[in-house]
Structure 1
Amino acid sequence: MFLKREAIEISIPHDEAFKKLLETFFKEFIELFFPELDSMLDYSESRFLMQELLVDIVGEEARELDLLLEIRYKGLDGYILIHLEPQSYRDTQFHERMFIYFSRLFERYRKEHKLIIPIAIFTSDEIREEQDTLEMSIPEHQILRFQFLKVELRKQNWRQFINSDNAVAAALLAKMGYTTREAREVRGEFLRMFMQLKARLDQGRLALIMSVADLYFKPDRAQDEEILRELMKQYPEEGEAIMELMPHWKRWGYEEGKAEGIEEGKEKAREEAQAEIIRKLLLHGFTPEAVSKAVELPLDEIKKLM
């Protein structure tokens, strides 16, 4: 039996959730931010390399590469490597670290892969120009110029993504550039995008999108209640379904004020909803330990749902 509590809140740790988003929607990520590269990739022949393998690549350094994908590149008629590295905090030596990773990947895989593409995804709330180049030179001769691809989410205009049916665009909408006055509109557009995705994605992927988006949206009860009423009018058959994936709405309890006689039933419904979300996260690849930490339930209770 699940532990009873006034607030039920499902929130997945940022790094793991973001990594899982990239793993699950890699194609959508490339389509969204690097359309030219997208046209050159054959997604039917791709695989993520195991993280245990990546530990060896960085030698004695404690940090592991976040994601490394092997995929067929049409232009070379062979396989290449794509290294994805999310970065959420300011690091003046980040561009050097990217070069070190690239160098070691090149050293290890140069005979098997014709190309290595490093991509950094900057998720900081600050708007700044992130350094993406490492250069060395002497007068009249350039020794080295290394430049990786990058996405700076805060520099992206959120409005250019709202007509997209791209799952990554929806999940990261709240991380893009918008003003305080636009916050409510961004929230509403995200939920509208989510409802469109709901028609073609399974529940596990929808739960992943919602869990990532919920890391970035700052809840406003009055605002969300208003949006909820609008959604219920726009999607009368789907309003309850979206509530099942809205941690903050569940936490606030929109059934407040109803007869006390149904409180026990509501508690049971909340527990069942929580169990369903946990099952979806487990099925989608999150470890029992990660889910246990996120929902603050004993590991044994999580394993019962596997």
Structure 2
Amino acid sequence: MDDDYDSPWKEVLVRYLPDFMAFYFPRVHAAIDWTRPFNFLDQELAALTVDAASGRRVLDKLIRVVSTDGAEQSLLLHVELQGWRDSAFAERMFIYHYRVYDRYRQPVASMALLLDDSWRWRPAHFGYQVLDSRLQLDFPVVKLRDFAAHMEQLCSDPNPFALVTLAHLQARRTRRNAFQRRHAKWHLTKLLLRRDWDRQRIIDLYRTIDWLLRLPASLESRVRRGIHLIREGTDMAYLSSLERYGLEQGLQKGLQQGLQQGLQQGQAAQLLDMLELRFGTLPEAIRNRVATAETAQLRHWARNFVYAERLEQVFAAE
């Protein structure tokens, strides 16, 4: 599987930072006044770390927050999400930490979430001692793999990052088995739909699950079919958004596959699959029309399809 961990983690962390801290770093969460605005300092961190050894990681964030100590003290949170084992990781944490402090001359709290598969690799400090001089940085580390022993508890945990954790663990576990991944993705989708959350949070978390648990188009269509069936039997209006998002993603995957299979052939096959999923068995005339259409026309019909409620709306003129 050609998985993408950077994009989903970045999006969900930025949208739901307080939940992220509460789930992975509860002591840090308790020390912050979340009723006060907080700011992501992405450009500032990029400028401070541009020439530092970066290694392979998922993302890093610098956030300005306000403490709960009554003095309205400004704090800086330095958060690293590391996706691979890296022998230089602890040193990089130290380098970033002192550069941030040197720039702002404010307290800095560094912490790391490790997303790799290793049980033993848990870097939590960096330092050295020369003669009578000693310097050391200790930082809290959370290992995502540790949650694998608590899958049942994650299924019922109300924090959205319980589902994100499940999705990431399942993505790592099923990266060589698409059929197992389809079952895992459908299970997580059903768990998500049972949550008593607002519409936007449901959609945001589905995007994360969908992003982490990528599937081939043929298996992805089964997940979308399940969402469509649930939608028909409920009054959950937001399910149309989930279905539409999944269909858009499926069409994009189809276009990518088309580049490998022969552009027109791949696009036509993907569009026919989506049409049958939504509208049932297609007339032979429609199948022939799609199979022989030019790529520009197929793209137009694909855009129409995302919002079409009737088959004829797909083939509306420009």
Residue 68 in 1 paired to residue 68 in 2?
Answer: no
Q: Which residue of 1 aligns with 2:36?
A: 45
| Secondary structure of the corresponding residue to residue 246 of structure 1 | helix
Relative to structure 1, is the Cα distance of residues 35 and 234 closer, same or farther in structure 2, using a 3 angstrom cutoff? farther
Relative to structure 1, is the Cα distance of residues 36 and 189 closer, same or farther in structure 2, using a 3 angstrom cutoff? farther
Q: Which structure has the bigger radius of gyration?
A: 2
Relative to structure 1, is the Cα distance of residues 125 and 45 closer, same or farther in structure 2, using a 3 angstrom cutoff? same
Residue 84 in 1 paired to residue 82 in 2?
Answer: no
Q: Which residue of 2 aligns with 1:151?
A: 142
Q: Say what the alpha-carbon RMSD is for the aligned residues.
A: 4.1
Q: Which residue of 1 aligns with 2:109?
A: 117
Correspondence for 1:24 among 9, 15, 19: 15
| Secondary structure of the corresponding residue to residue 86 of structure 1 | strand
Q: Which residue of 2 aligns with 1:194?
A: 192
Aligned-residue offset at 1:165: 3.1
| Secondary structure of the corresponding residue to residue 42 of structure 1 | coil
Question: How many residues of Structure 1 are paired with residues of Structure 2 in the alignment?
Answer: 260
Q: How is 1:98-247 mapped onto 2 (pairs within 5 angstroms)? A: 98-110=93-105, 113=106, 115-137=107-129, 143-157=134-148, 158-176=151-169, 186-197=184-195, 199-202=197-200, 206-217=202-213, 219=215, 225=222, 229=226, 232=229, 236-237=233-234, 238=236, 241-246=241-246
Do the aligned partners of 1:81 and 1:117 also contact (CA within 8 Å) in 2?
yes
| Secondary structure of the corresponding residue to residue 36 of structure 2 | strand
Kindly provide the amino acid, as one letter, of the partner of residue 98 in structure 1: M
Aligned-residue offset at 1:93: 0.2
Aligned-residue offset at 1:66: 2.8
More divergent stretch after superposition (208-217 vs 179-188) = 179-188
Relative to structure 1, is the Cα distance of residues 34 and 272 closer, same or farther in structure 2, using a 3 angstrom cutoff? farther
Find the aligned partners of 1:230 and 1:53 in 2 and give their Cα distance.
42
Aligned-residue offset at 1:30: 0.9
How does the TM-score come out when normalised to structure 2?
Answer: 0.64
Find the aligned partners of 2:37 and 2:74 in 1 and give their Cα distance.
9
Relative to structure 1, is the Cα distance of residues 184 and 17 closer, same or farther in structure 2, using a 3 angstrom cutoff? closer
Find the aligned partners of 2:307 and 2:221 in 1 and give their Cα distance.
24
Do the aligned partners of 1:125 and 1:175 also contact (CA within 8 Å) in 2?
no
Do the aligned partners of 1:121 and 1:152 also contact (CA within 8 Å) in 2?
yes
| Secondary structure of the corresponding residue to residue 45 of structure 2 | helix
Question: How big is each residue's C-alpha offset from its partner over 1:113-143, in whole Å with a ceiling of 9 and x where there is no partner?
Answer: 3x3111222223454423121132469x782
Structure 1: runs of 5 or more not aligned: 1-10, 277-306
Structure 2: runs of 5 or more not aligned: 255-272, 291-297, 309-318
Aligned-residue offset at 1:229: 4.4
Relative to structure 1, is the Cα distance of residues 55 and 230 closer, same or farther in structure 2, using a 3 angstrom cutoff? closer
Relative to structure 1, is the Cα distance of residues 269 and 167 closer, same or farther in structure 2, using a 3 angstrom cutoff? farther
Do the aligned partners of 1:210 and 1:245 also contact (CA within 8 Å) in 2?
no
Kindly provide the amino acid, as one letter, of the partner of residue 66 in structure 1: D
Kindly provide the amino acid, as one letter, of the partner of residue 191 in structure 1: T
Aligned-residue offset at 1:23: 0.9
More divergent stretch after superposition (121-130 vs 230-239) = 230-239
Percent identity between the two aligned chains: 18
